[in-house]
């Protein structure tokens, strides 16, 4: 089985020992505490589940700058983005050596993790600008990732953490949320050796479905892990429960038994394009995938990134040997009227635009909102039905 990144074994930061867990919960109630940002809470969940292994906790400013500038911490650990706990106010924890980090996304703000504070540093405007530019390739405040990153505050609290729960993800998505530890264990139980991972924040249409099939066939994979983002998205994106239902229906009807795992992870979308693609590959290796599909404008938003920037970054910027997972580079996929099947458009040079069934996301949303099913070449009818029901509910 593929090794985790930078280590022979996964290093999840969730406290699994029951006695230790209860003792930490009791201790946390007496510690100075602070409600952290949603982005920091997502980082804590990912650290807890082993996805960000072998990071021991939140980075200090020097390590965050190293991750942003060259994907390396000061100690030489590869990590493609800063993992920070940024706060607007540190008055309640200024002199504390041990603190409780409280969840911003759950009622009552329960303790998410306990941190041993190594440093509280004020991040300069210049440092924030450099990190923003390097990670997002823009400082445009209209970019949703840039806005979320810069809105957290300027005080970086760093140190190792012990994670006590997985925020709302485990409660709200009990059938879907899985840690890297759990996915790795299930892959082992199923006896899969070659595993393709597919990232999605949207329902899967025919093109996505066939892309997964193409990748599995190309690498002779034993199984596919469809790995959904369950955290905060941008306005207009389809909610996770609807995506989940649509994807489960597609897998149940159109993939062989024991060939697909449908899972999800708790993290807020960064919309950081190429850098987020590297982060996605990083934690897919940690969860046990040997191959990862990256398509056009992976993790992008608007017109901030080139169509294939998220693919070329692996050759141009990722340090050699940093990742063992292999990238399956995908082109735009569409249904060919000539061939009566979904193809990658680069593999059909004799086709004109009119030879493909091409529908924009806006057009599809309009059709679904009007109760019109997209053509079967674009969307499976059973999937379209679930999505139409959702859009009808918005119009009531």
Is residue 202 flagged as an active site residue?
Answer: yes
Is the previous residue joined to 54 through a cis bond, with omega within 30 degrees of 0?
A: yes
- The tokens 């369950």 sit on which residue? 230
Beta-strand pair 326-329/86-87: unpaired
CA distances from 130 to 104, 126, 179, 303 (A): 27, 6, 32, 21
Cα separation, 357 vs 354, in Å, equals: 8
Residue 52 near residue 180 (C-beta atoms within 8 A): no
Catalytic residue among 109, 202, 248, 365: 202
Catalytic residue among 154, 201, 213, 365: 201
Contacts of 91 (CB under 8 A, 6+ apart): none
Is residue 184 flagged as an active site residue?
Answer: no
Buried b (16+ CB within 10 A) or exposed e, 291-315: bbbbbbbbbbbeebbeebbbbebbe
Half-sphere exposure of 199 (CA within 13 A, CB side): 30
Name the CA dihedral angle for 379, 200, 216, 295, rounded to a multiple of 10 degrees.
90
Question: Catalytic positions, please?
Answer: 201-202
């Amino acid at each position: 089985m593929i090794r985790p990144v930078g280590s022979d074994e996964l290093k999840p930061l969730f406290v699994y020992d029951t006695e230790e867990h209860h003792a930490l919960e009791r201790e946390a109630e007496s510690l100075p505490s602070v409600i952290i940002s949603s982005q920091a809470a997502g980082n804590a969940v990912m650290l807890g589940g082993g996805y960000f292994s072998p990071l021991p906790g939140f980075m200090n400013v020097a390590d965050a700058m190293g991750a942003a500038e060259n994907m390396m911490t000061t100690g030489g650990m590869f990590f493609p983005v800063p993992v920070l706990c940024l706060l607007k106010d540190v008055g309640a924890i200024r002199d504390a050596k041990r603190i409780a980090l409280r969840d911003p996304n759950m009622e009552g703000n329960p303790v998410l993790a306990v941190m041993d504070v190594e440093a509280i540093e004020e991040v300069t405007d210049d440092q924030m600008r450099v990190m923003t530019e390097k990670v997002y390739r823009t400082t445009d405040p209209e970019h949703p990732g840039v806005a979320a990153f810069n809105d957290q505050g300027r005080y970086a609290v760093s140190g190792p953490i012990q994670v006590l729960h997985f925020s709302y993800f485990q409660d709200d998505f009990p059938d879907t949320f899985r840690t890297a530890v759990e996915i790795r264990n299930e892959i082992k139980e199923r006896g899969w050796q070659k595993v393709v991972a597919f990232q999605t924040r949207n329902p899967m249409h025919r093109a996505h479905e066939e892309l997964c099939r193409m990748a599995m066939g190309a690498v002779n994979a034993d199984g596919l892990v469809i790995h959904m983002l369950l955290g905060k998205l941008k306005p207009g994106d389809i909610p996770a429960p609807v995506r989940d239902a649509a994807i489960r229906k597609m897998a149940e009807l159109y993939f062989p038994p024991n060939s697909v795992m449908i899972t999800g992870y708790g993290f807020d979308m960064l919309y950081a394009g190429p850098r987020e693609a590297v982060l996605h590959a990083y934690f897919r290796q940690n969860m046990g995938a040997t191959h990862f599909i990256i398509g056009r404008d992976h993790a992008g938003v608007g017109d901030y990134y080139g169509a294939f920037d998220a693919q070329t970054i692996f050759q141009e910027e990722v340090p050699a040997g940093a990742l063992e997972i292999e990238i399956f580079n995908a082109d735009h996929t569409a249904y060919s009227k000539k061939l009566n099947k979904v193809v990658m458009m680069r593999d059909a040079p004799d086709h004109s635009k009119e030879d493909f069934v091409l529908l924009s996301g806006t057009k599809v949303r309009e059709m679904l909102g009007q109760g019109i099913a997209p053509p079967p070449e674009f969307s499976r009818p059973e999937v379209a039905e679930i999505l139409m029901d959702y859009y009808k509910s918005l119009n009531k």
